[in-house]
Structure 1
Amino acid sequence: MSPSAVASLRLELSLVQPVLRTAAARMWHSDPGLPDRYRRYLRAMHQVIRASVPLMERAAARCGALPRDPVARPLAGYLRAHAEEERGHDDWLLADAAAAGTAPDELTGPVPPPHVAALVGAQYYWLEHCHPVALLGYIAVLEGNAPAPGLAGRLARETGLPLAAFETVRLHADLDDGHSSDLDRLMERLPLDTAQRSLVAVSALHTVASLAELFDRITAVPTEWESPHE
């Protein structure tokens, strides 16, 4: 993807990201419900992040079935390397939950609700039935909207939970900016055709909308979050 195409993707995202930022601001609003919202956030993000490495590994494997596609080989190399960087991050969330007083099986036991499946599952569809490059749109959004520096400390102060409960928030604030730069460099050198560029953009826009919905549901009252009829 040429630098101008990277800029085009960033421009498209800039038009919709205020929706995501507003949803995040509501979720992190300081009020008496913040500790419980944070625990719901940990559960939801564990359901999302535990899929990250399997998604990248499957997308890299799909690249292997496209030997004549000039995008496939560099894309597979990036995905395999990034999967190793992301490996174990779901365990960070389990440790945070334990520090926040939540048992691990409260994160691993429940069936993920449809809105989580919609966020993650669309990527499986696109990488299997369109092209694995779709996953770059998903990664661009997740890593382009890292927690703000200082958020972990503020949340610890305002929730009264121990700072150890916010390690994933703190670490992703430090790591994801560099990961976004790596992704931009990859996209600049990938020879994406028009359809592939469109697929990356569609994936990214879907991810913004689905992630904003996820944050809004975390912010909602617990009875809505827990409903089996979501």
Structure 2
Amino acid sequence: MTSKIDIYERVKSYPWENECFVAEYLAQTYFYVSHSEKLLCLAMARLDDDKIFRRFKEHLNEESAHDKLALRDLKRFGSNIEGHKEHSLTKAFYQSQYYQIEYKHPLALMGYIFFLEDLVAKAGPYVHEKINASSGKVSSFIKLHYEEDEDHVEEARKLIESLPKNIQNLIAENKRYSQEIFFKILDEIESNIGKKVNNAA
């Protein structure tokens, strides 16, 4: 199993100084983040714990229109969503979460949420600084999330630890799956950018 240090170091290994890579990352981010509110609503509809329901409701309010931030960032990099195709891996990333909610447990979604929030809280400052240093542009999406998500991560960790062990196991399993797919998305973006560079040479 990949350690936390390996995960964050792996994020740093991607070419964030390449504007084409960043634009494609933002496009794929838009595609999966546009499902965040829907996933939370679906999970909430299946929760029977009022306290956790309220926590999810707060999270839903916090996630409102975050997909629009990714679109605005994309325009900063001279692109628009119409110029990008949604990758099959990106579809697998969020579509699998509907399955987790419906067929595993609505709280299994927390594995997906926790992975993304923990990742951006730790690696977001580096990524944002790297993008800004090389292009002079900022990613409002990344900046907002690493500024907000550190507190969210600690809250989520405490909530997960309070849950029955079988639910914790489902969350951990989904976290590992989400991590694997996310890095495959970044690998695919990097590979495609490399092909474009080679073809243009």
TM-score, structure 1 normalization: 0.76
Deviation at residue 17 of structure 1 after TM alignment: 3.8
Matched-pair identity in %:
21
Q: Does 1:119 align with 2:96?
A: no
Match of residue 162, structure 1, among 137, 152, 169: 137
Give me the whole-angstrom Cα distance separating, in 1, the residues matched to 2:103 and 2:67.
27
* Residues 107, 171 of structure 2: 8 Å contact kept: yes
1:171 corresponds, among 119, 141, 144, to 144
* Alignment match of 2:56 (pick from 79, 99, 118): 79
Q: Quick one: distance in 2 between partners of 1:28 and 1:170?
A: 18
- Alpha-carbon distance in structure 2 between the residues aligned to 1:161 and 1:50: 27
1:51 pairs with 10, 35, 40, which one?
35
- Supply the distance in 1 between the matched residues of 2:157 and 2:6 (Cα, whole angstroms): 23
How far off is 1:20 after superposition? 3.4
1:181 positional shift: 1.3
Q: Aligned partners of 2:126 and 2:90: how far apart in 1?
A: 27
Cα pair distance change 1:17/1:79, threshold 3 Å: same
Paired residues in the alignment total 194
Task: State the alpha-carbon separation in 2 of the partners of residues 188 and 56 from structure 1.
Answer: 20
8 Å contact 1:55–1:124 — kept in the other structure? yes
Report the AA paired with residue 84 of structure 1. Answer: N
Name the structure with the higher helix share: 2
Q: In the alignment, is the contact (CA less than 8 A) between 1:40 and 1:218 conserved in 2?
A: yes
Alpha-carbon shift at residue 73 of structure 1 (Å) = 2.8
CA contact (8 A) 1:20 1:209 kept: no
Distance change in 2, residues 1:74/1:127 (3 Å): same
Higher relative contact order at CA 8 Å, sep ≥6: structure 1 or structure 2?
Answer: 1
Q: Tell me, yes or no, if the aligned pair for 2:40 and 2:56 is still in contact at 8 Å.
A: yes
Contiguous gaps of at least 5 residues in structure 2: 197-201
Determine if contact 2:101/2:109 at 8 Å carries over to the other structure.
Answer: yes
State which of 3, 8, 12 in structure 2 corresponds to 1:25. Answer: 12
SS of residue matched to 2:177: helix
- Corresponding residue number in structure 1 for 2:199: none
Pairing 1:183–2:156 present: yes
Q: Is the 8 A contact 2:160 2:168 kept in 1?
A: no
Q: Which protein shows a greater Rg?
A: 1
The offset of 1:84, in angstroms, is 0.7
Deviation at 1:161, TM superposition (A): 4.8
Over 3 Å counting, the alpha-carbon distance change for 1:224 and 1:133 in structure 2 is: farther
Contact 2:71 / 2:81 at 8 angstroms: preserved in 1? yes
1:42 aligns with 2:29: no
Q: Which moved more, 1:142-151 or 1:173-182?
A: 142-151
Residues 18 and 26 of structure 1: CA distance in aligned 2, closer, same or farther (over 3 Å): same
Q: Does 1:89 align with 2:89?
A: no
- TM-score where L is the length of structure 2: 0.86
- The SS at the match of 1:145 is helix
